[in-house]
Amino acid sequence: MVSKALVYIGIAVGVIAMGGAIAYGTINQQSYVSEEASFAPAAEQGSITSDSGLGAELNKERWHEDPFGDIAQKVRENAGAEKKVTEVEEMEVEAEVEEMEVEAEVEEMEVEAEVEEMEVEAEVEEMEVEAEVEEMEESSEPQTVSVDTPVGTSVPGCETTNECWTPASVTINAGDTVEWTNSDTAAHTVTGGLPADGPSGVFDSSLFMAGATFSHTFEEAGSYDYFCMVHPWMVGNVQVN
């Protein structure tokens, strides 16, 4: 009697458990897929049914679907997008660095060109200064200036063009020498002074013949007139600095 009662109790417990499982499955199935919302339009068209075929498979897939799948996919997409943005930013930074390096090289080349130009200018200035110094040194050395007595000056007329001496007036420095050459056929003199005042006594060649020369060194600054005592219209001047 007791054993039969236990059998009946086991059967009752099994029936209750099956009923609970069926109820639980029905509730969860309705929560994931509503037959009226999801499959009614398709069932009306005769394409799928909710209790068999594709409808049952869809319910089964929705039942086992990962509720966090969309979130994970979005996270992966965002991570990929952020990676691409980072790569683009790195490429932009590299491009900016390369551009800065190129600009720095250009500036360095410009500076080098300016330095070379300044060096060349300094060399040119130094050469000019050296040339001026040499010229000053040469000019500081005693010089000899030549004056010629042209042909035909023994006849009046050269005084009208101031060509009795060539050149008629010279400028020299103290310590320089003037050398006269008689290119005329007649004899002449180079006498300091003026015809109206007579000889000054500073210098006098006395009579020197054709082809002869006479020279005098002027040690002191001043203006020195001279003339030919044989031909008094022949007048010249030496300016000494």
Residue by residue, pLDDT tens for the chain (241 residues) are: 555 555 566 666 566 656 655 655 555 555 544 444 444 454 454 444 444 455 555 455 554 555 666 776 776 777 777 777 788 888 989 889 999 999 999 999 999 999 999 999 999 999 999 888 877 766 668 999 999 999 999 999 999 999 999 999 999 999 999 999 999 999 999 999 999 999 999 999 999 999 999 999 999 999 999 999 999 999 999 999 9
Q: Running DSSP on this structure, what letter comes out for residue 168?
A: S
CB atoms within 10 A of CB 33: 18
Superfamily of domain 144-240: Cupredoxins -  blue copper proteins (2.60.40.420)
What is the rounded CA–CA span in Å between residue 211 and residue 181?
7
CA separation for the pair 184, 224 (Å, rounded): 23
Contact 208, 182 (CB under 8 A): yes
What residues does each domain of the chain span? 2-63, 68-141, 144-240
Transcribe 46-111 into DSSP letters: TS--SSSTHHHHHHHHHHT--TTHHHHHHHHHHHHHHHHHHHHHHHHHHHHHHHHHHHHHHHHHHH
Q: Look at the pTM and tell me if it is higher than 0.85.
A: no
On whether the CB atoms of residues 176 and 207 are closer than 8 A, the answer is no
